[in-house]
Each structure stands twice: as structure tokens, then as C-alpha cells.
Structure 1
């Protein structure tokens, strides 16, 4: 029944369909659900009501759907959800509430749904996460909260999500991440926190994430990274720090991530990298260094030498000098001692 331009559903539309196990109502124009419309569908397993015009969902409309495992309500106009909307749906594994108009989430919305594996609440207007929202959800593997207005992450908000594989917090307003907030996520493989307002990464902020392979922190306001910020990430393969405000890095910052294969440092404010910064990265396959104001005086010699020894790892384009003087626009890898150290007077100018 998907994509049929349905505008309304009669309360008896599915009466007697006791054996129905899948119902697709996606891509219609449904504005209202009678609270008894699904009462006969006690064997329903999959219900898709996405891409409609729903502004609210009656609190008891799913009360007989005790076998439901998949519920998609994405791409509607939902502004609020009753705390008991999903109560009793104990077999539910996949719930999708993305692309609505939700500004808040009831603290007990997911209470008792211990078989949940996927939760998608992206592209809404959610401003905060109630402290106990994910309590008891030890089987959840995917949690997508991107493109909301979340500014703060309560302590222990992810504490029970011990099976989580992917956590997406991209495109929110998060200013600070407390050390230890991810400490129970020992199974996490991907963490996306790009497009927020983070200004620094403190020591131990990623502790406990022994299996994390992908960490995306691009497009924040990062100015400082503590030398022990990446401790606890021994399996990290991909690190994206591009499009931030970084001017330098601690020389030993990458020692905890020796397996790193891909790194993006482009589009920051780097003028140089401290001696030895990239030495721990013996497994690196590519690094992006462009769109930084590399200052080609004596301090650039380490990076020049490293690029010449690892030219096959430079991804996209070779980084260029921003200056000083006539060195502006030249490739960093072509710089020699005579070019950059004999001309110290130019740097001073």
C-alpha cells in the first residue's frame, strides 16, 4: 500500500487480517491514525509508515502489535511522542524516528525494549538526551542521533549500550565531551562526532574503546588536543581531524594509535608539525595535509623530510608553503635547508 497517495485510514481498514506480518504504508499522505486501526494485526512483524504527514501518533495505536520487530516512522511531521507510545513492544529490534520535528524525547520512550538493535532519531530538533533514555538496552548495535541540536551529553548516557557498534552524533552543538563518557563502549567500531562545537580533546576522552576503528572529528572548532587524548584506541585505523582550528599537535599524540592507516589533517591552521609527530604511524597508508598555512622556515624541515621519505602516502595533493615571501606557493617537499634556514630573516619579516 506504499506510494498510493492515501490521505486517511479507516479504523476498520485492516479488520480481520490476523495473519498479516508486513504492512508498508510508506510514501503516502496519511495525516492521522485511528487508535484502533492496527488492533487486528497481532502477528504483524514489520510496519513502515515513513514519509507521510503524521503530526502525532495515538498512544495506544500499537498496543496489540506484540510481535512487531521493525517500526519505521521516519519522514513525518511528528513534534512529540507520548512516553508510553512503544510500551509493550518487547520484540522490537529496529525503530526509526528520523526526519521529523521532535524537540524532546520522553525519558521512558524506550523503556523495556531490551531487544532493540537499531535506534535512529537523526534529523530532528532534539536539544537534550534524558539521562536514562538508553537504560537496559544492552543489545543495541546502531545509534544514530545526527543533525539535531544536542549541546550536552549527560554522564553515563551510553553506559548500558555495551554492544554498540556505530554511534553517530554528527551535526549537533556539542561543546565538550567528558573523559569516560564512552568507557563502556568496548564493542564500538565507528564514532562520528563531526560538525559539532568541540574546542579541545582532553586526556582519556576515548578510554575504553578498544575496538574503535573509525573516529571522525572533522568540522569542529578544535584548537587543542591533549597528548594523551587518543589513549585507549589501539585498533584505530581511520582518524579525521580535518576542517578544524588546530595550529599544532603534541609530538607524541599518535603513539597510542600505531595501527592508524588513514589520517586527515587538511584544512586546519598548521604552520609546522613537531619533530617526530608522524613517526609512530608505521602502518599509515595515506595522509591528507593540504589547505594548511605551512610556514617554510626551519621548523618545516621535519615535515619536508617526512614527506620525501613517504611521498607515496600523501593523498590528494602535495601541501604547499603559505610563506614566507617568495616561498609562498611552493611545495613543502621541495624545501631544503638552504631554502628555509638560510632565509630566517624572511620569516622574521
Structure 2
């Protein structure tokens, strides 16, 4: 049973979902009108139904009187589902259901929703020998004791959620050995005792999300070899023992998002060969071991967004050929190695790289992603795109380039993306001149509303005009004086300063001012490059820039490498 729909009232599971606040507190739930309409369609109420309840078809009993503070008598003997919603029940004493039904064995599901239960007496559910599902949500319980569940030997699903539960006795579940789902989301659990799960070795789904766990004891899950879904989202986990998941070889879903994980041990996922979903988003990860995912041949969804990653090792996805969706959004990535994706991810359909610090992309970064349909590159610092960046992405449908520093795109960049129908271009300083004709042609076949807020950044007379509204005859470049334009990098010779100053110079620069090129009618005399901050030597900067000025635009390719000079003849180089 899915965590989001567990123990829902009949007819409207989604309407009854309990949603916790970020701190794990329960939000009060109110029965929706839809529920009453659905219940009204069931067979007429049974004449033997207790006064404070409604019975439908003698199998479903719904008790919601606010003044109801005990288990009523007269519940039909063949009732299989019993719901208490917004009652005044505070305590379930020992044998609370002994007088409530004449035949307890028929009851399969028992739900307490938004009732102020504070304590469960010893053997509170005694006699409910056929009970399969027990749910208590939005209660006032602060702890769980083993004896409260005495007699529930056939219970398959136990859900105690969105309550102030802080403590779990080490043998809290020893009377329920048949449990397959244990859902403890939205409580205040601070610790897991080493032997807590030993009596329920057949458990397949365990949810501990939205609690206050600071760590996981070594071996705490060792007794759960059949676990398939493990949710640990929204706790306070700052580290993981390297072997904490080594016994969960059948795990299909692992949720670790919303914690404070700063690093992951290299072999922590080495046994997860069947894992399909891995949620690591919204942690504090700064780096990832190169072989972290190497054993995950069946991994389909990997979410790493909302961390602090600045770089990724080249072989990170070497063992994940089945990935369909990968998100690296909201990190601090500045560059990506060309072989990061390549032919390693032939099934990848969605790739999200938005909200990073990317300033350039290698030409072959996406080559081999033939199934890619959505590519998110918005909210980066991209100043240019390689012409072959999207080569062979014939299935690409959606491309987000919004909120970068793009002034133009290379001619032909979209030519092999036959399925592409949506491109987001807003938030870029587009240079609306002759170099934008290719993009203008493409926009003729696109929805004007999509890029209504994509505006010209230059020239001055077109600045602020919406790209779809620019006419092709307006996209012109200023005429240059006759003769070739040559760019060279050289220091100005003081002796030739007077001659140089006589030339009608034009100063071209990129929107951020990182590159500035000064040119005369026949040649470009000076190039100024502002390098990003870096420590030590070995710095390398390479890329293509479109530089603009009142004279027009220029395309410039620059490659700078800074290396420490080796000592010469035993002396340090000056």
C-alpha cells in the first residue's frame, strides 16, 4: 500500500491524505463533502447500527460523533471496516472491543482519524484476530508499547502517522510478526533501538519520513532482508554507516531526501542491484565518489537536486544504463566533463541541469542520449552554445535555455532535433542582429506566447522588444569598413601609441564584461580577459563568446591555459 494513500476512508483516498508540516507536525484533517456523497450511494444503513454511527451494507461502519468517547456497542457482526473520525476517544482500555461487536473476527480494517487518542491500554485490540490493517493518524500518542498490540498476529499493515510519537519500545512490534508495511511518517521519533525490527523480518515497506532521526545505528535494518521500499526523507541524518543497507538486496525504492547528508561512503549502495528509485535531493552533498552508483544497473530515477555539488567525476554514471530521469538542478556546478553522459545513458529521457553556475558546455556532452525528450538548462551562466551540442537528439521535445547570458545561438544548432517544439528563451540578453536570423526562422513555427518575454538586449533601437515581434528585416548588422577583420592578442607598443590612437576604435565586450576586444578598421589591437577566481596554477579557460558594441557584433574563440613554469638551471623561474 502506498504511503500517500494508506488507510484512506472508502471512496476518496486522495482527499484523506495526511500532510505533515516541515517539522513533522500533523495537519488536522476534515472529512470532505465528497465522502458523504459517496457513502450515500452505498446500500441503506442497517437497522442494527449504533446511534452514533452509520452503517453501510453491514460491512462498513462510520462513526464521527464528536461526543463519542468510547467504542459503541451494537456494531454489526459482519462489519469488515470500522472508521472513527473526529471523535472524542482519548483512551482505548484493555479489551476495548470486547463489547463492541458480537464477532470480532470479521473486522479487517480499523481506522482512527483526527481523534485525540493519548494511550493504548494493554491488549487494547484483543479479540480482533482477523484484523489486517490498523491506522491511527493525527492522534496524541507519544509512544508505542508492545503490549498495546497484543493479539494482532495477523496484522499486515500498521500506520501510525502525524502524531507526537517520540519513543518506540525495542519490542514494540513483537506481537505482529506478519507485518508487511510499517508506516510511521510525520512523528517525532528521535532514535531507533538496535533490535526494533527483529520480530518483523518479513517487512516489505518501511516509512520513517518526517521524523527527527539524527543517525542510523549500525545494523538497524539487518533483520529486514525483504525490504523493497524504505523512506527516510525529512529527518536530520548527517551521515550513513557504510553497511547500513547491505542486507537490503531486494530494495526497489530508497528515499533519503530532505536530510543533512554532507557525504556518502563509497560503498554504501554497493548491494542495491535492484534499486529503481533513489532520492538524494535537498541534502548538503559537496562531492560524490566516482563509483557510487556503479552497481545500480536497474536504477531508473535519480534525484540529486538541491545539494552543493560543484563538480562531478567523469565515470559517475558508468553503471546506470537504465536511467530514465536524472536531476542535478539547484547545485553549484560550473562545468561538466564531456564524457559524463555520452553513451552511458541510452534510455535517459529527462535531464535537469537548471539553477547551476554552468558557463559553458562541452560539444559532445549530450551525444549518445538518443532517447532524451526534455533538457533543462535554465538559470545558468551560459554565454554561448557549441553548434553540435544537440546533434543526434532527434527525440528532444522540450529545451529550456531561459535565464542565461546568451546573445545568439549557432546557426543549425536545432537542425537534427526534429521533434523539438518548445524552447524557453526568456531572461537572456539577445543581440537582435543578423546573427539571430536562424533563431528567428525557427520561432516562426513556435508558439509566440512561449517566448513573449524573451527580449532583445541590443541594439539600442530594438532593446526590450519581444523576440517573436521582431521582423526579419530588422535583424541587420552594421556595415564594416572594407578589408578583412583580423584579431590578434598583443601588448601595445608605446612607440606606436600615437598611430593606434588615430584609428576609429570599437570596443566589443560580452554582457558580463569578462572579455573586451578593441578593434580598428583593419585589425583588433587589444584583448582583455578577466579570469574567474581560482586558486593556484593549472587554470584553463576555453569558450566561444559573442561580443557586442555600437559597431556590431563579433564572434571570438579564446583558449587560455596558466601553468607554473619549471625551474631553469637550478634556479626558480622569475
Relative to the length of structure 1, the TM-score reads 0.91
In the alignment, is residue 271 of structure 1 matched against residue 383 of structure 2? Answer: yes
Q: 1:13/1:259 Cα in 2 relative to 1: closer, same or farther (>3 Å)?
A: same
Tell me how far apart the structure 1 counterparts of residues 188 and 335 of structure 2 sit (CA, whole Å).
Answer: 40
Bigger fraction of residues in strand: 2
Residue 2 (structure 1) aligns with: 112
Tell me how far apart the structure 1 counterparts of residues 247 and 124 of structure 2 sit (CA, whole Å).
Answer: 36
**Does the 8 A contact of 1:90 with 1:115 survive in 2?**
yes
Which residues in structure 2 correspond to 1:97-246 (within 5 Å)? Answer: 97-231=208-342, 232-246=344-358
- Aligned positions, number: 344
1:251 to 330, 342, 363: 363
Residue 346 (structure 1) aligns with: 508
Tell me how far apart the structure 1 counterparts of residues 392 and 218 of structure 2 sit (CA, whole Å).
Answer: 44
Tell me how far apart the structure 2 counterparts of residues 340 and 145 of structure 1 sit (CA, whole Å).
Answer: 56
Query: What whole-Å deviation, never above 9, does each CA across 1:256-297 have from its counterpart, x for those lacking one?
Result: 322211100001000111231111312111101111111x3x
**Does the 8 A contact of 2:184 with 2:209 survive in 1?**
yes
Equivalent position SS for 2:399: strand
**Does the 8 A contact of 1:322 with 1:329 survive in 2?**
no
Gaps of 5+ in 1: none
**Does the 8 A contact of 2:358 with 2:380 survive in 1?**
yes
Deviation at 1:332, TM superposition (A): 7.5
Structure showing greater radius of gyration is 2
Tell me how far apart the structure 2 counterparts of residues 10 and 27 of structure 1 sit (CA, whole Å).
Answer: 18
Moved more, 3-12 or 164-173: 3-12
Query: What whole-Å deviation, never above 9, does each CA across 1:297-336 have from its counterpart, x for those lacking one?
Result: xxx441x543588695333455642567536656779799
Deviation at 1:177, TM superposition (A): 1.1
Q: 1:310/1:337 Cα in 2 relative to 1: closer, same or farther (>3 Å)?
A: farther
**Does the 8 A contact of 1:198 with 1:222 survive in 2?**
yes
Residue 34 (structure 1) aligns with: 145
**Does the 8 A contact of 1:10 with 1:34 survive in 2?**
no
Query: Relative contact order (alpha carbons < 8 A, sep ≥ 6): 1 or 2 greater?
Result: 1
Deviation at 1:247, TM superposition (A): 0.3
Residue 494 (structure 2) aligns with: none
Residue 66 (structure 2) aligns with: none
